[in-house]
Structure 1
């Protein structure tokens, strides 16, 4: 599980290395007018909440860092990404069964649920894929080409074969 999460996050690494700061900060794409950098920061903040909270048994997803430098400069995003990957690689498989409480605002104030570290990491993985898909949409409209044709696709998504005329 950890290796799959790391592999997925590393897809973001090639994006952060290849994208210009202007593209990273561009907020011109409707309907949300957010930036690629904002999505990258949001993805990594979720993982940071996990790593900050799980040693104490409480992961509070509402306490995101929201570092403006991470969403403004690809180099900060890359550093943050590498830090998150290192945290993942330092985890022991036995820790995935650790019981934790997860706090999040589901739309009507904070809610706390019992979970495990593995479950919240699986949630963060799914969350990352979702935001990578949004980033892929934005890249398409900004004419940014990435060499990974699976960027933003859930591994369970059927692969569509394009027929050439």
Structure 2
């Protein structure tokens, strides 16, 4: 199961690379659209932060999703984001044969304070993948409102969305 989850994540990360290679830096950094005034770059950075929290917390068995680095370089520099994705993919592949038969403590803020719950590596990675798809959907809205057409089949759609409803962005 872990191999399938990591393969799915890497597929989604490859879609991010394809997106970044197909848009210009101005589009990547454009934060002019309300109501949140976030850029494509800020959503990419945010999803990478989520994965970084997982990687950084695994050894100590203390993943803190509120301890994101928020490296603004990833929000503004497409090449840095692409390289970060490649490094992340390499790290994820190294987990395929790692024993993960234990519970991992994951801390997040649910809106009323921090809470720590138990996950498996597979469950936190699956959660991170769904979180990424959610942000890709937001990126699709940003691109649409900026009048940019990029075709990446399935980008921003949950895999359970019927194929006839998926058009990519």
1:54 aligned partner: 58
Aligned residues: 162
Structure 1: where are the runs of 5+ without partners? none
Please give the alpha-carbon distance, in whole angstroms, between the structure 2 residues aligned to 1:97 and 1:70.
Answer: 33
The DSSP-based 3-state class of the residue aligned with 1:147 is coil
1:153 pairs with 2:138? no
TM-score, structure 2 length as denominator? 0.90
Residue 136 of structure 1 is matched in structure 2 by 140
Residue in structure 1 matched with residue 30 of structure 2 by the alignment? 26
Preserved contact between residue 95 and residue 117 of structure 1 (Cα < 8 Å): no
2:131 is aligned, of 124, 127, 130, to 127
- The answer to whether the aligner puts 1:101 opposite 2:105 as a matched pair is yes
Q: Counterpart of 2:80 in 1: which secondary structure?
A: helix
Deviations 1:51-93 (A, max 9, x none): 0101211111011110111101111111111111111111124
Runs of 4+ aligned residues of structure 1 deviating over 2 Å after TM superposition are 92-98, 159-162
1:107-122 paired onto structure 2 within 5 Å:
107-122=111-126
Q: Which residue of 2 aligns with 1:37?
A: 41
Structure 2 Cα separation of the partners of residues 100 and 160 of structure 1? 38
Q: Is the Cα contact below 8 Å between 1:102 and 1:114 reproduced in 2?
A: yes
Shift of 1:160: 2.6
The Cα of 1:30 is off from its aligned counterpart by 2.0
Higher mean C-alpha displacement, 25-34 vs 87-96: 87-96
Query: Given the alignment of the two structures, is residue 64 of structure 1 paired with residue 68 of structure 2, yes or no?
Result: yes
Unaligned runs of 5+ in 2: none
1:3, distance to aligned residue in structure 2 (A) = 0.6
Separation in structure 1 between the aligned mates of residue 97 and residue 138 of structure 2, nearest angstrom: 30
8 Å Cα contact 2:6/2:96 also seen in 1: no
Kindly state the Cα deviation for residue 143 of structure 1 after the two structures are TM-superposed. 2.0
Q: TM-score, structure 1 length as denominator?
A: 0.92
Describe the SS at the equivalent of 2:32.
coil
CA RMSD after TM alignment = 1.5
